[in-house]
Amino acid sequence: MLKSERAEFIHAKLEALYPNTPIPLDHQTHYQLLIAVLLSAQCTDERVNRVTPKLFAKADNPHDMQHVAVGDIYQIVRPCGLAPKKSRAISELSKILVNEYQGEVPPDIGLLEQLPGVGHKTASVVVAQAFGQAAFPVDTHIFRLAQRWGLTRSKTVAGAERDLKKVFPKVSWNKLHLQIIFYGREFCTARGCDGRACDICRYCYPSRKKPFVAYKA
């Protein structure tokens, strides 16, 4: 089966299962989305959604957040993991947004990537979900599924992102990255599917006899 055929089936299957793709991180503004995505690194969305109401009750915009002590931010975001780094990043990027961008989140992936604590994946999510720009954020979950489904043989997230962008229409990227996450959580989990159990894995590789082993550097 050609990669394009697998991609066509996957796209149709995910669209049927998840016609609506609400952003799983609770937020009201672009700034709040940026902070929530930053906190979600190596942390579940559910935990982030329990933490952000407490954080935003203290400061829900960069003008106020820049005046909150890093130690106070740390005490709130500690359940999300990597709290020392994340709390410093939240404080520092808030100051930068105020001083350089009039308190607004810039709609530019390159500028976002220059902010403390904001990597390519976080910046991609923000430009996609806040500003509607075509992006294909790839986290470890999407990376795993892209390999299982034969959409990439890359050993890096960056390589997988390039491969996924080639095989799916650009207009679908923003929605599709959420659809893949939803499907992975429900049907193709790290332990619940080894590349032979879920509908997509079975369709893409009906003759696969052994558990799929991810390509690693």
Question: Does 135 score more than 70 pLDDT?
Answer: yes
If we measure between CA atoms, which residue out of 6, 146, 172 comes closest to residue 155?
A: 146
- What pLDDT is attached to residue 202? 97
CA angle 100-27-60, nearest 5°? 50
CA angle 120-123-126, nearest 5°? 150
Kindly state the percentage of the chain with pLDDT values over 70.
100
If we measure between CA atoms, which residue out of 194, 97, 180, 85 comes closest to residue 139?
A: 180
What stretches of 42-172 show up as alpha helix (H) in DSSP?
Answer: 45-58, 62-65, 70-77, 83-101, 109-113, 120-131, 140-148, 157-167
Active site residues: 121, 139
Question: Does 158 score more than 90 pLDDT?
Answer: yes
When pLDDT is cut at 50, 70 and 90, the band that residue 141 belongs to is: confident
- Residues 78-107 have a mean pLDDT of 97
CATH 1.10.340.30 fits 30-131, yes or no: yes
Task: Give the C-alpha distances (Å, rounded to integers) separating 68 from 30, 47, 102.
Answer: 19, 22, 18
When pLDDT is cut at 50, 70 and 90, the band that residue 150 belongs to is: very high
Domain residue ranges in the chain: 3-20+137-204, 30-131
Token representation of residue 63: 């003008």
- What pLDDT is attached to residue 174? 96
Q: Which CATH number fits domain 3-20+137-204: 1.10.1670.10, 3.40.50.1000, 3.30.70.20, 3.30.470.10?
A: 1.10.1670.10
Residue 134 · residue 102 · CB < 8 Å? no
When pLDDT is cut at 50, 70 and 90, the band that residue 217 belongs to is: low
- Residues 102-128 have a mean pLDDT of 97
pTM higher than 0.85 for the full model? yes
d(C-alpha 33, C-alpha 154), whole Å: 29
- Residues 160-171 have a mean pLDDT of 97
Distance of CA 211 to the CA centre of its chain: 26
- What pLDDT is attached to residue 156? 94
DSSP 138: -
d(C-alpha 183, C-alpha 128), whole Å: 19
